Amino acid sequence: MIIGILIVFAIIAFAVDLAVRKILERVRVQRRLREREQALSVSLRLDFSTEARTLKRVEVSNPVARILCVDDEEIILDSFRKILVLDGYSVDTVQTGQEALGLIQTRPYDFVFTDLRMPAMDGVELAKSAKHMRPDVDVVIITGYATVETAVECMKSGAMDYVQKPFTEDELRAFVRKALIKRQDQIGRRLQPRVHITQGTEVGSVPTGEFFIPGGVWISKGHCWASLSEGGAVRVGLDDFAKNLIGRIDAYEMPKPDVVLRAGQPLFAVRQGSRQIQFSAPVSGRVVRVNRGLPEMKQGAGVSPYHNRWVCEIAADNLSTEIATLKIGSAAVALFQEDIGRFSSLMRDVTKSDRPGDVADNTLRIGVLETVKDDLWDQVAKNLFCKSD
């Protein structure tokens, strides 16, 4: 009887607590909305002409993102302020590209929304200039002329996307939320040119977005890793440098068991769509085993390519001599750092020769090769991965 009463009281207490939490959350949401409405009302009466003649600014506490909107139509700018401020964004608006560029140099914007067709400076020119000054800012083109040609023109300028006007409130909210998710994903995939030696073979305490090499693992010049299995065979796999830059791997082309090959000969390949990169054997010998379970293993950021993610095992013929050609410890770190520099330089050079005057996104990030053209893919494969020791 007493236990039954206690259970009833516990259920009632839980229900009351849940109801109170919902009420408090509703109150917090309403309070934030009132604060944003007040900020919208007050800010429009303030004078920001010392920064830019047509500037109107609405700042909210703890903004979801900071946005600059540029359009020569005041009605479009009014819509942006009203819709986005109430959704929790801090919004600046100006009517000219020249004013926008001045603000971009001094304000920490996350996004710049710019009209495509404007007098004096159009959206494409503004996007190129903005990305040149602030490669970290994401540019979105506003256009009433949504065609395939328009999309290509926007992307070439360095813009992340474009939005077509006229738009409804819900359409704009949904678009900006999608753009924010895309930006956060890109930030999360950025790589720093730092390389760590770790004690184990898993990620462990290695910061996300940095390269790592387990202690005791050898690295080939073509970015395969090698280590001794318990049976004495050499396990070979894809190292962290190759895994991070390639990103998505759709399939592995495994070597055939019992095939005999020399160091430097093609060993295995990875496929991404219709493209592939061939990796060379770091040591000579006979392939005694392949990892059939590798394609089903979890991939992606934060997943170690070492340990049980080997591609094959080789019974080495001349390990004592060939191991001297592989890199370990500080020498492996130096190889990573050298090739990080080579890759960044290659990205800049190819992009400049391919599209002179266009903005190049040279950010080092996880899966950067997923978006490059076939010619750059082939050059990276040839210069960084198809190397023998």
Query: Contacts by 331-336 with C-beta closer than 8 Å and gap 24+?
Result: 332/197, 332/213, 332/217, 332/218, 332/219, 333/195, 333/197, 333/213, 335/219, 335/221, 336/195, 336/211, 336/213, 336/219, 336/240, 336/241
- 362, two tokens: 């040279």
Do the domain assignments include residue 357? no
Q: 216-231 b/e with 16+ CB inside 10 Å = b?
A: ebbbbbbbbbbbbeee
Same domain, 236 and 140: no
Same domain, 203 and 283: yes
pLDDT tens profile 14-32: 565 566 566 666 656 566 6
Same domain, 203 and 278: yes
Are 46 and 67 in contact by the 8 Å Cβ rule? The answer is no
Do the domain assignments include residue 368? no
Same domain, 78 and 215: no
Same domain, 205 and 87: no
Do the domain assignments include residue 350? no
Contacts of 140 (CB under 8 A, 6+ apart): 111, 112, 113, 114, 159, 160, 161, 162, 163, 179
The pLDDT value recorded for residue 283 is 96
Residue 228: enclosing H or E segment and its boundaries?
Answer: strand 224-228
Same domain, 66 and 177: yes
Tell me, what CATH number does 331's domain have?
Answer: 2.40.50.100
The pLDDT value recorded for residue 42 is 59
The pLDDT value recorded for residue 208 is 67
Q: Using CB atoms within 10 Å of the CB of residue 141, give its burial: 0 to 12 exposed, 13 to 18 middle, 19+ buried.
A: buried
Do the domain assignments include residue 324? yes
Q: Which residues of the chain have pLDDT under 50?
A: 201, 203-204, 356-360
**Other beta carbons within 10 Å of 112:** 27
The pLDDT value recorded for residue 309 is 93
Which of 277, 281, 249 shows the shortest CA–CA distance to 376? 277
- 351, two tokens: 């992009």
Same domain, 150 and 211: no
Please work out, in degrees rounded to the nearest 5, the angle formed at the alpha carbon of residue 60 by the alpha carbons of 59 and 63.
105
Domain count for the chain, please give it.
2
Spell out the SS3 assignment of 77-109. HHHHHHHHHHCCCEEEEECCHHHHHHHHCCCCC
The pLDDT value recorded for residue 8 is 58
Please work out, in degrees rounded to the nearest 5, the angle formed at the alpha carbon of residue 268 by the alpha carbons of 267 and 274.
140
Of 140, 158, 188, at which residue does a domain stop?
Answer: 188
Do the domain assignments include residue 351? no
Same domain, 278 and 220: yes
Do the domain assignments include residue 11? no
The pLDDT value recorded for residue 360 is 47
Of 188, 209, 244, at which residue does a domain stop?
Answer: 188
Do the domain assignments include residue 348? no
Same domain, 55 and 196: no
The pLDDT value recorded for residue 356 is 46
Same domain, 146 and 269: no
Same domain, 167 and 209: no
Same domain, 128 and 42: yes
What are the residues facing 316 on neighbouring strands? Answer: 285
Tell me, what CATH number does 87's domain have?
Answer: 3.40.50.2300
Q: Using CB atoms within 10 Å of the CB of residue 113, give its burial: 0 to 12 exposed, 13 to 18 middle, 19+ buried.
A: buried
For tokens 């040839």, the residue is: 382
The pLDDT value recorded for residue 359 is 47
Of 131, 159, 188, at which residue does a domain stop?
Answer: 188
Do the domain assignments include residue 17? no
Whole domain around residue 123: which residue ranges? 30-188
Output phi, psi for 225, to 5 deg: -100, 155
What amino acid is encoded at 180 in this protein? L
